[in-house]
Chains A and B, each alone.
Chain A
Amino acid sequence: MFNKIIFLLVRSITETLKCLNFLIAFIMTIGVTYSGKNDFKIIAISGVILYILTTLSIKFFSNNNNKSFKKNIVFFASLAINLSIAFIIINSIFWEYKVYCMIYFFIIILYATIHYNNDVEDMNHFIKMYIYSVIITLFVMFLIQGGDYKEVVKIYTLYYLIMSVIYIIQVNLLQEYNYCDGILVNEDKNIRRFNIMSAIITVSTSVLFITDLFKKGYNLFIYVIENITYMMMKCLGFIMIFLYEIGIDENKARELARQSEEKTNKNIIKGEKQDELIMEMMNKEGYSSTSITVAKVVIFIIMLIIIGTIIYLVYKKINNIKINAINMEELDGEERSFVFKKDKNGKAKRKKINLKDLHVIRQIYIEVIKTLKRRGIEYKNSYTPNEYNSFIGSTEYKSKDIDKLTNIYNGLRYGNKAISKDDIDIAYKIKENL
């Protein structure tokens, strides 16, 4: 009974993950528009197109029983799709996109070559692909000057971290399924090997990713704001492109199940019949097909809500960090002295970022900008305080108070003026009234 519930749950998770692809694409498109970074848009759009086309091509060709024919057709179809997308993008683009396109192109060919081999015995393909793609990525990045190969490697690291988790879920799904059917698939050498491999990759990628994150030290905030969000968005683009693996791995899982069942002279389970067999098993235990379907739908919806909530919370958190963070590179000497401290060797170390060290008027001014930004009033670094004030004047937040605060701020910041207690009181009131 417990196993069956777990199975149902795991099954729901994988189904939710599939739906999540589209959710991710949707979020990415919104994120891209919000962030104004065009390269995300191109990556996202190409990812979505690629995902849809490859999924369709795999679905179509998987009905063909001729294995080699299927392999070749899928490979060439995929190659053609990738090539055409790559060339469409290459023709319209800036240098940076060309770099990414070339990486996509190389990796997708490599991936397709390995992936469509369909050799269930070769569980090492995952690690091979990881190594090859990183090598090729680095190679391409070194060949093309000006590329940020570090970032690409980081993206791959995160990508494989996520993919490893998905693999583990799917293998466990297979195990749970077979437990339900009374077959001890976990004795299978391949499964054991796969689990070990996944665990190693997961741990190593986690270590890589986490240490890289903390290597930044004093620069952590900038990293969180710019790189993580930027990288996450790009990473989602990569996932979009590669996520069709999930479907393939299900086939692999089914293939393993089929092999196991062959050993025990059971019926061969084909992909399409999997759900029917689940129903059949559950019925044997006394569950009606309707109740099972309802249970699946309910669990599916719950999972979707949970994942949606998590995504929303993460987004909110990142947004908060973004708003509260300071871009160190743009701080002037005086401000930097508050943020950095030097160690014995004279290297800058991160000091607790505390705006309280700045003059109270500047703190209030920064907080007012942040508050307005949260309310949708855009702030550009190229704005002078007066330009920003004029911009606010064209919005619903137009007020004489902001004019006053800007004047006080200008006097302090650029005029080296002494600020009276009355000015500070006025500034506080302005902040409170906002």
Chain B
Amino acid sequence: MEILEISKMHARVKENIQKVIVGKDEVIDLVGTTILCSGHVLLEDVPGLGKTMLAKSLSKSIDSSFNRIQFTPDLLPTDLVGLNYYNQKLGDFQFRKGPLMSQIVLADEINRATPRTQSSLLEAMEEHQISIDGKTYVLDEPFFVIATQNPVETAGTFPLPEAQLDRFFMQLSMGYPTLEEEFDILKKFREENPIQHLSSVVDASEILEARKAFTKVYISDDIINYILAIVNETRNNPSIELGISPRGSMALFRGVQAYAAIKGRDYVLPDDVKKLVKPIFVHRIMLNGYSTSGKAKEQVLDEILEKIAPPVENIQAS
């Protein structure tokens, strides 16, 4: 598959999703980037902004299986991954698949489940497989988790551990629509939900092919050094206690390649790096003190991006 075909494929998916989701070009591009990188997305936003709708329309567009799991404090790991139960009729244990065994999974309000249940996602997210009673089940590809959490309500929640956060490729925010967009939403949903009429525009095999192809995107040494300079700054910045791990820098490296591909370019620009630094790094850094809000982290990352000059021509600035 050529780079241009990846871009066209993404454009088809985007157009299809936008029959339901109004606007949100950037979020759709970033979700597309994450799928290409075999990653998962954490959507941190208040309820009612279209997170579920985005996941549903994405699954419909890709012709894949979809499951929504509402995370609650009493949710057990077996409720997610499935379990072996004794079938009296057959007189043997039988495996019942959990909702995690689908291609696109919406883990709604993930921080409401206990850490034990949250941890049961780890293997699935990282290895794309599930091990139950010594047997390993490989998940169907493309396997993609969209998890959501509400940044406002914190009572009765269990913040995701760092190890789990690191498994998410990006942390995104849908944000409120503009008035014009909301006008279009109301008009679109006047009679019925347009998602019912969505049909798939891409099949899973195309996605898998694109995943192999995007790695051909050229990334110059200058850009790699730029990525490393940013990563290094997160490790040395006095405001940051926990900087970016090599997994994080690898994610940015792959991310910018995938992002360039969906934009139809076979090379990476410094703009791609700037665009992806925040969604890929924001949940991977830990600030000094007690501030954990995404906004404070974004502010620090903005400062770093301002400080670390991209590889451009050297015209004296002042």
Contacts and interface: CB of A to CB of B under 8 A. Distances in A.
Interface stretch (A122-130, A329-337, A392-400): A329-337
B314 A386 contact: no
Contacts of B225: 332
Contacts of A36: 318
B266 A415 contact: yes
A192 interface: no
A414 B313 contact: no
A385 interface: yes
Contact of A335 (B269, B314, B317): B314
B218 interface: yes
Contact of B317 (A381, A386, A410): A381
B316 A414 contact: no
Which of B274, B307, B317 has most chain A Cβ within 10 Å? B317
Nearest to A328: B314
A56 to B, nearest CB: 35
Contacts of B318: 35-37
A181 to B, nearest CB: 53
Contact of B269 (A37, A225, A327, A414): A414
Given A414-B269, A417-B267, A384 B310 contact: yes
Interface of B: 218, 220, 222-223, 225, 265-271, 274, 305-307, 309-318
A414 B222 contact: yes
A334 to B, nearest CB: 9
Given A382-B309, A384-B270, A415 B314 contact: no
B315 A382 contact: no
Contact of B316 (A323, A332, A382): A323
Contacts of A417: 267
Contacts of B274: 384
B316 to A, nearest CB: 6
Contacts of B312: 381, 383-385, 388
A348 interface: no
Contact of A332 (B218, B222, B305): B222
Contacts of A325: 316
The 5 closest A-B pairs by CB, nearest first: A415-B267, A381-B309, A384-B270, A330-B314, A381-B317
Contacts of A373: 315
Contact of B315 (A226, A366, A387): A366
A335 B315 CA distance: 13
Interface string A306-326: 000000000000000011011
Given A382-B305, A386-B269, A414 B220 contact: yes
A370 interface: yes
A160 interface: no
B314 A326 contact: yes
Nearest to B222: A332
Which of A226, A325, A382 has most chain B Cβ within 10 Å? A382
Contact of B313 (A365, A380, A382, A387): A365
A214 interface: no
Interface string A408-427: 00110111110000000000
A85 interface: no
B305 to A, nearest CB: 7
Contacts of A388: 312
Contacts of A330: 309, 314
B311 A379 contact: no
Given A381-B315, A382-B309, A384-B312, 12 more contacts: A330-B309, A366-B313, A383-B312, A384-B269, A384-B270, A384-B271, A384-B310, A386-B271, A387-B271, A388-B312, A416-B220, A416-B267
A373 B267 CA distance: 28
Contact of A414 (B268, B314, B315): B268
A327 B314 contact: yes
Contacts of A369: 313, 315
A71 interface: no
Given A330-B309, A332-B222, A386-B271, A415 B315 contact: no
Nearest to A330: B314
A382 B306 contact: yes
B222 A327 contact: no
B270 A414 contact: yes
A404 to B, nearest CB: 16
Nearest to B217: A415
11 contacts: A35-B318, A226-B316, A325-B316, A327-B316, A330-B309, A332-B222, A335-B314, A379-B315, A384-B310, A413-B311, A415-B266
A154 interface: no
A365 B316 CA distance: 14
Nearest to B309: A381
